[in-house]
């Protein structure tokens, strides 16, 4: 803990320095506060319990993902994308595969497109289920919500394990399709999970949605206005909770998303409660998409046979592939110079960009709210510091 006077050992520009700031307290929350994820910390200036200023400090994981990818072959970057956001390795795979497919003009077979949608929506389900669990954990409801969320996540991870061989680092998609055919009986297991999942959502709603403590802790807290959200480039559930109808699945219609009938849930106030509710409703929409995809999935090849795995060299050019990951717009920008590795490789991570407005969401609220607001942004540090 630090007092008002700036001390010499602060590496950052001290926040509480200007005159008239006497009585303010600058504290560093994290990086090992239980509710800050990974190496993240917040430099907060407090007036009593109120947050006056806040500076998110993302820390240094030193992953160097983008530079590593520039010196590795196109294929060798695929397993690294898993590690960007370990809650959504399959959607990360898809975003990268999409960028490479655009770059090289590859056509993906029908069946693979359906498999991609199924795995991506399952990813969204388990991501949101755990995010809400963590959010409640951060609010002090340790135990039930997080455990219930994890219980559902486990069933979905079992499916991923059966399909890809790994629970979290799936490394499943390939340019032009998917790596392996679905194991026998896999689709039936998915069907079972999809039919049982709404029961969990109902359970969650019973447990939480009308809980007076939850309402008191979330409604009107951490409000983010529509205009500011748009200006800040925020995407995903955080943006939609502020009432902006923007979902890449509808706007860009990548893959085969134009074939499915689903709605985009929107919030009104952009507060913590809306961000929670948008995620709950989004899970119900994902179930709808999954039902349609499971009904329509055709037989056929799962990968374009013309695409080379080894020695893949796209023509010189550039491409940007983007998808709606569970956290927002995840994009990969690639420049090819015709060699076996990308000349430039850049990730547009939703977590990092959503974090930029943390101060605006937290200003004026108390420290306890700060933790909850931070929880609703849903970040993974691997994606923040690539």
Binding site for other proteins (CB under 8 A): 72-73, 75-80, 144, 148, 151, 154, 158, 161-166, 169, 171, 179-180, 183, 203, 206-215, 309-310
Residue 245 near residue 266 (C-beta atoms within 8 A)? yes
* Residue 123 or 354 having the CB closest to other proteins: 123
- The torsion region of residue 337 among left (phi > 0), alpha (psi -120 to 50) and beta comes to alpha
* Residue 41 or 179 having the CB closest to other proteins: 179
C-alpha torsion sign, points 290, 295, 296, 301: positive
* Residue 151 or 263 having the CB closest to other proteins: 151
Residue 16 near residue 24 (C-beta atoms within 8 A)? yes
* Residue 167 or 346 having the CB closest to other proteins: 167
Distance of alpha carbon 165 from alpha carbon 89, whole angstroms: 13
* Residue 171 or 336 having the CB closest to other proteins: 171
Q: Least distance (Å) from other proteins to the CB of residue 171?
A: 5
Task: Show the tokens assigned to 154.
Answer: 């486990």
Distance of alpha carbon 173 from alpha carbon 33, whole angstroms: 36
Q: Least distance (Å) from other proteins to the CB of residue 161?
A: 5
Q: Least distance (Å) from other proteins to the CB of residue 158?
A: 8
Q: Least distance (Å) from other proteins to the CB of residue 332?
A: 16
* Residue 93 or 354 having the CB closest to other proteins: 93
Q: Which class for 7: exposed (0-12), middle (13-18), buried (19 or more C-beta within 10 A)?
A: exposed
Distance of alpha carbon 29 from alpha carbon 301, whole angstroms: 51
Q: Least distance (Å) from other proteins to the CB of residue 370?
A: 25
Task: Show the tokens assigned to 281.
Answer: 């409703």
Q: Least distance (Å) from other proteins to the CB of residue 104?
A: 18
Q: Please tell me what DSSP assigns to residue 281.
A: H
């Amino acid at each position: 803990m630090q007092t008002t006077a700036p001390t010499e050992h602060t590496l950052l520009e001290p926040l509480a320095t200007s005159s008239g700031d006497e009585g303010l307290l600058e504290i560093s929350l994290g990086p090992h506060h239980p509710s800050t994820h990974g190496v993240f910390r917040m430099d907060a200036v407090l007036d009593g319990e109120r947050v006056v200023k806040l500076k998110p400090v993302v820390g240094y994981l030193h992953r160097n993902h983008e530079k590593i990818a520039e010196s590795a072959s196109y294929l060798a970057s695929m397993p690294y994308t898993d590690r960007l956001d370990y809650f959504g390795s399959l959607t990360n795979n898809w975003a990268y595969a999409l960028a490479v497919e655009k770059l090289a003009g590859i056509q993906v077979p029908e069946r693979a497109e359906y498999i991609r949608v199924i795995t991506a929506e399952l990813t969204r389900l388990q991501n949101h289920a755990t995010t809400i669990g963590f959010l409640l954990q951060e609010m002090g409801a340790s135990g039930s919500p997080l455990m219930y969320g994890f219980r559902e996540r486990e069933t979905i991870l079992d499916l991923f394990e059966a399909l890809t061989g790994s629970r979290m680092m799936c490394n499943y998609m390939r340019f032009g399709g998917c790596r392996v055919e679905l194991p026998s009986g896999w689709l039936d297991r998915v069907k079972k999970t999809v039919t049982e999942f709404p029961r969990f959502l109902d359970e969650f709603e019973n447990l939480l949605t009308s809980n007076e403590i939850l309402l008191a802790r979330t409604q009107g807290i951490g409000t983010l206005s529509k205009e500011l959200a748009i200006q800040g480039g925020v995407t995903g559930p955080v943006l939609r909770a502020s009432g902006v109808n923007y979902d890449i699945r509808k706007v860009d219609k990548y893959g085969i998303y134009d074939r499915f009938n689903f709605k985009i849930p929107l919030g009104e106030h952009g507060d913590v409660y809306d961000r929670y509710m948008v995620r709950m409703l989004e899970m119900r929409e994902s179930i709808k998409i999954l039902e349609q995809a499971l009904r329509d999935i055709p037989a056929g090849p799962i990968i374009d046979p013309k695409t080379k795995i080894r020695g893949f060299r796209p023509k010189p050019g550039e491409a940007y592939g983007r998808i709606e990951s569970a956290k927002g717009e995840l994009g990969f920008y690639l420049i090819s110079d015709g060699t076996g590795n990308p000349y430039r490789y850049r990730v547009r991570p939703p977590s990092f960009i959503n974090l930029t407005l943390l101060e605006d969401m937290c200003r004026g609220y108390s420290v306890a709210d700060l933790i909850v607001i931070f929880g609703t942004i849903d970040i993974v540090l691997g994606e923040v510091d690539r």
